[in-house]
Amino acid sequence: MDLTERKRTLGVALEALEAGLWHAAATLCATIPPGDPETELLLGLARAGKGEIGAAARILDRIAAEHPALQHPCNDFARLCPDGPVAPLFQACLSLAPGNRRLRHDFANWLMDHGRPAGAEVLLRHAADSATGQCLLGLALTEQGRFRDAVLRFQTATTLDPAPAMAWANLGMTLKIEGRFDEAMAAYDEALARSPNDASIRVNRIVALLQAGRWDEAWGEGDWRLRLPGYRGLGEARLLPPNADVAGRTVLLTHEEGFGDTIQFLRYAPLLAERGATVVARMPAALMRLARRVPGISSVIPEDAALPAYDYHCPMVSLPRAFGTTPETVPPGEYLAAPTSRTPRIGLVWAGQARPWLPGFAALDARRSAGPDVFAPLAKLRGVRFVSLQTGPAAARRPPGLDIENPMTEVRDFIDTAEIVAGLSLVVSVDTAIVHLAGAMGKPVFMLDRYDNCWRWLSGRPDTPWYPHMTIFRQTRPYDWTEPMARLVAAIEAELFGAQCRAEGGNADRVFQGCEASGRQGRELPQQCLPTC
């Protein structure tokens, strides 16, 4: 076979591999004389696709040994056949080369990418003698909610090799989750000393400052979020600067990923209008009717419409920075006012939206979503009607033991949802857009919050400056919803039946008719009462 024919055959074999035609690819490779490394690689991948794992592993392991500077071929198979026998192939290759540290790290990364951090931990505990191994082990522990253990691993990684910026950034992330903010800032500073223009490290440092309540410092860092790889917004050109003179100017407000973000920060639209701006909101269909009800917005356009003329633009989540907001100067939260219901009706949301198109978000959603079984203790409450506000696939399962009304099948957008919320006495929800909608309407909200909570809810507080009628019931142990749900049920019982109800401070409100709710500012109710690496 001459060189031209060999090249053509290899090309056809590669096309067959990419199409998942494993037998055809193997047959084509067999027509090429043996001893050629490219042919051997394609043959090994084809045999793996056919399920001949042992034979494929022997071929691929030999190629890896001959070319140690190149990525292990198991990674090529993982890309070609993501739903195929990737894990068995990695395992078979690792059994042939148990000392191949890079292969072990690659396998651990693949396991974590596919939601199997416990398996990655087992692999890495046998190869944690390097900074990379310690860092990967820290990430595997982080994915399992074992943040304190992860801190120790990242600290060890930075001791073994202080050069990589990402190890310091990961250390900063876990220290922030544990509320050790000064140490987290020091770790992020070490990371930035090594990689000053890394947008993800900059953004995570800003998030840590925000969660620590140091918002002035955070806003002074700039809007590095707009420089993240893959950012799809309008960028920094004509971005609304802090405390800009907007009189006579058109300001275009844009939605990004989260419905909750947009609902939360719509409160700034009236402030822009008060300063003389013409405010145009570019919204997804689900939010258009809701945005039209916000004072100060002159027009609402679909997010897929052509851009209108504007002087400044601002993503919704950048509005607090544009206004220099601090925890003490958060604008009022009731900008979608609704009447209070006289009947004890409680709306429930037990899961968020996974957003599979965002890398790493599914793991975060798994930590913030409680699931319907966690809501089962609410069944002990008597004289209460429950209403589902749950959307998406999670709506198929209901909290056991609850007789629950489900009006969400008729919902088209957030206005329809708002009309349902208007008839409720209380919303009990995990951290989703519903808490922002209810909060903006002035409805009492009891929010179940994950251990590694979002920056907007600050740290160590059961209240929030964003919504004066919200109480936060945060996990004291990662993934354990039992304790916060027990406190939440006790708080509802106290407010519903009046046995332990009392007003604390000047922020008492009536959640249920005839019962004075406990204060929302800085105390628990009742008496007992984490994307970027």
Model pLDDT for residues 190-238, shown as the tens digit of each residue: 999 999 999 999 999 999 999 999 999 999 998 999 999 988 899 899 9
Task: Please give the torsion angle defined by the CA atoms of residues 357, 362, 364 and 369, in that order, rounded to the nearest 10 degrees.
Answer: 120
Question: Minimal CA–CA distance to 446: which of 509, 513, 401?
Answer: 509
66 and 132 share a domain? yes
**pLDDT digit string (tens) for 39-77?**
899 999 999 999 999 999 999 999 999 988 888 999 999
355 and 318 share a domain? no
**Per-residue pLDDT, 521:** 31
**Per-residue pLDDT, 524:** 29
Cα separation, 3 vs 83, in Å, equals: 34
Confidence of residue 32 (pLDDT cuts 50, 70, 90): confident
Q: Which tokens hold the place of 274?
A: 């008060």
Q: Assess if residue 233 is contained within a domain.
A: no
* Average pLDDT for 394-403: 94
**3 state SS for 317-381:** HHHHHHCCCCCCCCCCCCCCCCCCCCCCEEEEECCCCCCCCCCCHHHHHHHHCCCHHHHHHHHHC
CB of 479 closer than 8 Å to CB of 118: no
Residue 495: is its pLDDT beyond 60? Answer: yes
Q: Assess if residue 533 is contained within a domain.
A: no
**pLDDT digit string (tens) for 76-127?**
999 999 989 999 999 999 999 998 999 999 999 999 999 899 999 999 987 7
**Per-residue pLDDT, 523:** 27
Q: How many CB atoms lie within 10 A of CB 354?
A: 17
**pLDDT digit string (tens) for 461-493?**
999 999 999 999 999 999 999 999 999 999 999
79 and 30 share a domain? yes
Q: What is the CATH number of the domain that holds 145?
A: 1.25.40.10
**Per-residue pLDDT, 519:** 33
Last residue of a domain, one of 322, 353, 380: 322
304 and 364 share a domain? no
307 and 355 share a domain? no
Cα separation, 130 vs 412, in Å, equals: 53
Cα separation, 371 vs 394, in Å, equals: 8
Please report the DSSP string for 289-303 in residue order: HHHHTSTTEEEEEET
Residue 513: is its pLDDT beyond 60? Answer: no
161-175, 286-300, 328-342: least confident range: 328-342
Helix (H, G, I), strand (E, B), or coil: what is residue 405?
Answer: strand
Residue 527: is its pLDDT beyond 80? Answer: no
**Residue 41 DSSP code:** H
Choice between 492 and 499, residue whose per-residue pLDDT is larger: 492
Range(s) of the domain holding residue 257:
250-322
CA 269 → CA 128, 277, 290, 348, 443, distances in Å? 51, 9, 13, 29, 21
304 and 353 share a domain? no
Cα separation, 114 vs 108, in Å, equals: 10
* Length of the chain in terms of residues written: 533
Question: Minimal CA–CA distance to 275: which of 307, 240, 238, 302?
Answer: 240
* Average pLDDT for 452-464: 94
CB of 438 closer than 8 Å to CB of 455: no
Cα separation, 51 vs 275, in Å, equals: 67
11-20, 96-105, 408-417, 496-505: least confident range: 496-505
Question: Minimal CA–CA distance to 40: which of 24, 54, 26, 22?
Answer: 26
Q: Assess if residue 340 is contained within a domain.
A: no
Q: Quote the number of domains for the chain.
A: 3
Q: Assess if residue 199 is contained within a domain.
A: no
**Per-residue pLDDT, 522:** 29
CA angle, residues 480, 486, 489, in degrees to nearest 5: 135
Question: Minimal CA–CA distance to 523: which of 509, 500, 505?
Answer: 505
- pTM (2 decimals)? 0.86
Cα separation, 511 vs 346, in Å, equals: 10
**Residue 309 DSSP code:** P
281 and 186 share a domain? no
| Mean pLDDT, the chain, whole residue set | 89
Confidence of residue 500 (pLDDT cuts 50, 70, 90): very low
Helix or strand holding residue 434 (H, E): helix 433-440
CB of 170 closer than 8 Å to CB of 533: yes
Q: How many CB atoms lie within 10 A of CB 360?
A: 15
Q: Assess if residue 397 is contained within a domain.
A: yes
Q: Which residues contact 518 (CB under 8 A, 6 or more apart)?
A: 491, 494, 495, 501, 502, 503, 504, 508, 525, 526
Let me know if 428 is exposed, middle or buried by CB neighbors in 10 A (0-12, 13-18, 19+).
Answer: buried
What percent of the chain is predicted at pLDDT more than 90? 76
Confidence of residue 498 (pLDDT cuts 50, 70, 90): low
309 and 257 share a domain? yes
**Per-residue pLDDT, 455:** 95
Q: Assess if residue 485 is contained within a domain.
A: yes
317 and 349 share a domain? no
Please report the DSSP string for 78-113 in residue order: HHH-TTSSHHHHHHHHHHH-TT-HHHHHHHHHHHHH
CA angle, residues 175, 359, 393, in degrees to nearest 5: 110
* Average pLDDT for 432-445: 95
**pLDDT digit string (tens) for 297-327?**
999 999 999 999 999 999 999 999 999 999 9
Please report the DSSP string for 145-183 in residue order: T-HHHHHHHHHHHHHH----HHHHHHHHHHHHHTT-HHH
Q: Assess if residue 518 is contained within a domain.
A: no
302 and 431 share a domain? no
Confidence of residue 1 (pLDDT cuts 50, 70, 90): low
Q: Assess if residue 525 is contained within a domain.
A: no
In this structure, are strands 278-283 and 426-430 parallel, antiparallel, or unpaired?
unpaired
182 and 259 share a domain? no
Is the dihedral angle over the CA atoms 123, 61, 114, 169 positive or is it negative?
A: positive
Q: What is the CATH number of the domain that holds 491?
A: 3.40.50.2000
**Per-residue pLDDT, 355:** 67
Residue 17: is its pLDDT beyond 80? Answer: yes
116-125, 342-351, 443-452, 514-523: least confident range: 514-523
33 and 151 share a domain? yes
